[in-house]
Structure 1
Amino acid sequence: MPKAPRGRLALYLDLIRWDRPAGWLLLLWPTLAALWMAAGGFPGWHLLVVFTLGTILMRSAGCCVNDVADRDFDRHVKRTAQRPITSGAVSPREALWLGAALALAAFCLVLTTNRPTVLWSFAALAIALIYPFAKRIVSVPQAVLGVAFSFGIPMAFSAVQGAVPAVAWVLLAGNLFWVLAYDTEYAMVDRDDDLRIGMKTSAITFGRADVGIVMACYALFIAIWAVVGLRVAGLGWLYGLGLAAAAAQAVWHWQMIRGRTREGCFRAFRLNHWLGFAVFAGVAADYALR
């Protein structure tokens, strides 16, 4: 028997990857870690709600824009061929309207903070809109994604302190290396399809050095966040424990990706949010102990 047509809500939830929260968790943990560092501890319920909901909304809006931009590529990739836009279940125009509504809801949340953060939100939106098209031009588009996925860090400092100090940009740079690591794992899943259709990704650019570069990126992320957290923010042993847990997970990911199998690389990508959670948990626990 033919499958019954899916309702619009179900299609929209599929479009924004509602059943795959790992995507927005990858954005949320470094943003919350920065929020705690900026506030010197718990930042208050208002900012916690704003940045948590804002992260979910903006990631969902980004999925809409990304799938519209990639619809001609996605139909040639095994993993993405049945996405709502690619399959024709949702029109590009419909997806863009949904993305605009989600972005507007996120902007309304930002309006409850302060003027500098509102202004920074326009830069964040611009970078998010640029990324889907970077894959046609930049040989390592994951670097653009790294900036987009890390922009919650300076915005968190701005919301708490009314300005973005140099340390926020250092944390952003460190987080960019983490994004390069996990999104290269993601790109390794689709490497064969991307080579065939002419897509540019870090997995293709790095070639056989991909696993080594991924591990170097993990190391740089942990090292930069260790220096900032331990030396600048004055965090202690609980934060160090969180970083150690993150490092242990990075080694585990090496075990999963070294064979370059689709299953191993995709599993490593999907589990990366636990690595980010370990770092955030270390930050929150260390401040709570004071």
Structure 2
Amino acid sequence: MTENTPNPGTVADAQSGNWVDRLAPDWLKPYARLARWDRPIGFWLLYWPCVWSLGLAAIAQPEVGFSWWAAILMLAGAILMRGAGCTFNDIVDRDIDNKVARTRSRPIPSGQVTAREALYFMIAQALLASVILFQFNRFTVWACVASLVLVAIYPFMKRITWWPQAFLGLAFSYGALVGWSSQTGSLNWAPILLYAGTILWVIGYDTLYALQDIEDDALIGVKSTARLFGDYVRPVVAVLYVAAFLLWTSAVLLIGGGIVFAALSLVAAGLLAWQVWTIDPTQPENPKNRFYSNHYVGIALSLAFLADWVW
């Protein structure tokens, strides 16, 4: 194989030269691709709301502080649950994926694994995630069990509603509740506001991401907010991002946070504004790059929460 020959089985939307393609043994590669280990952006976007929520709890309970151990457990849980969720999504969407240019190279439609093998892999990931989950209090365990309903219904939403991104937001933002409950054993309005803002953030960034598939989705009848918003994607996503930022700030103010978070979170606000200002679906890679920049939004807000707690 020459240097310019693509790796057999490589997924179209994975970054070229990722560690799975380069280093994983051949037997593991299809399963690693099912779990999106070659595209780690997803588990980071699932994880950052957990850190924000842990930071929110630390600001509310400075005598307890930030739980680094919980943050480590939640990172492992995010990797496993994102992998299980993506595997389930690929099982459900295998016929649709075969009709979309970006997704037909995924392991199931491309024939690298069967749907049955993918199902066994999904169960294994979920079982490992449950081991991590049971390290937390009972309230958090039951809250996470309830979230499985959202995970289960999400893959079907693109068939029946123009708002599948909203259901993704409900599921993918759950860490905004879980981080807080893992430290307090309950919920109040602060994490609920954080959760609401994160849902809007997810709808916004996944709308930008869905711009990549808008033509294929229209041909096969798959619904999305990218298609729904049409020429108004930019102003609608701008409103979603502004509302998300206001809700995040309100959550911090509600539990006694203040100027440190407000000042440092402007970095995240600037990144969100850049996404909206520069989005151009006619340019290859543009929507994907704007979507990927949300990883840095997550980092910036995490540092803002931690700095406010330290202050």
Deviations 1:183-238 (A, max 9, x none): 00011110000000100111111111111111111111111111221x21322333
Equivalents in 2 of 1:85, 1:143: separation in Å? 26
Given residue 33 of structure 2, which amino acid in structure 1 is its aligned partner?
D
Equivalents in 2 of 1:94, 1:136: separation in Å? 25
Given residue 165 of structure 1, which amino acid in structure 2 is its aligned partner?
N
Which residue number corresponds to residue 30 of structure 2?
11
Secondary structure of the residue aligned to 2:109 is: helix
Q: Is the 2:169–2:202 Cα contact (8 Å) retained in structure 1?
A: yes
Which residue number corresponds to residue 256 of structure 1?
278
Q: Is the 1:117–1:162 Cα contact (8 Å) retained in structure 2?
A: yes
Say which structure is richer in helix. 1
Q: Does 1:210 align with 2:229?
A: no
Given candidates 69, 72, 76, the residue that maps to 2:99 is 76
Which residue number corresponds to residue 37 of structure 1?
56
In structure 2, runs of 5+ residues without a counterpart are 10-24
Q: Does 1:268 align with 2:290?
A: yes
Q: Is the 2:133–2:141 Cα contact (8 Å) retained in structure 1?
A: yes
Q: Is the 2:50–2:175 Cα contact (8 Å) retained in structure 1?
A: yes
| Pairs within 5 Å for 1:128-277 | 128-229=151-252, 231-258=253-280, 260-277=282-299
Secondary structure of the residue aligned to 2:285 is: helix
Given residue 21 of structure 1, which amino acid in structure 2 is its aligned partner?
P
Q: Percent identity?
A: 38
Q: Is the 1:211–1:258 Cα contact (8 Å) retained in structure 2?
A: no
Which residue number corresponds to residue 108 of structure 1?
131
Secondary structure of the residue aligned to 2:103 is: coil
Distance 1:90 1:259, change over 3 A: closer
Q: Does 1:88 align with 2:111?
A: yes
Equivalents in 2 of 1:79, 1:71: separation in Å? 13
Q: Is the 1:157–1:165 Cα contact (8 Å) retained in structure 2?
A: no
Secondary structure of the residue aligned to 2:100 is: coil
Distance 1:35 1:198, change over 3 A: same
Distance 1:45 1:243, change over 3 A: closer
Equivalents in 1 of 2:28, 2:89: separation in Å? 19
Equivalents in 2 of 1:271, 1:61: separation in Å? 24
Q: TM-score, normalised by structure 2?
A: 0.88
Given residue 14 of structure 1, which amino acid in structure 2 is its aligned partner?
R
Instruction: State the Cα distance separating 1:258 from its structure 2 match.
Output: 4.3
Secondary structure of the residue aligned to 1:136 is: helix
Instruction: State the Cα distance separating 1:262 from its structure 2 match.
Output: 4.3
Given candidates 38, 62, 65, the residue that maps to 2:85 is 62
Given residue 275 of structure 1, which amino acid in structure 2 is its aligned partner?
V
How many residue pairs were aligned?
288
Q: Does 1:51 align with 2:70?
A: no
Equivalents in 1 of 2:201, 2:68: separation in Å? 27
Q: TM-score, normalised by structure 1?
A: 0.94
Instruction: State the Cα distance separating 1:4 from its structure 2 match.
Output: 6.9
Equivalents in 2 of 1:263, 1:49: separation in Å? 32
- RMSD, aligned α-carbons: 1.8
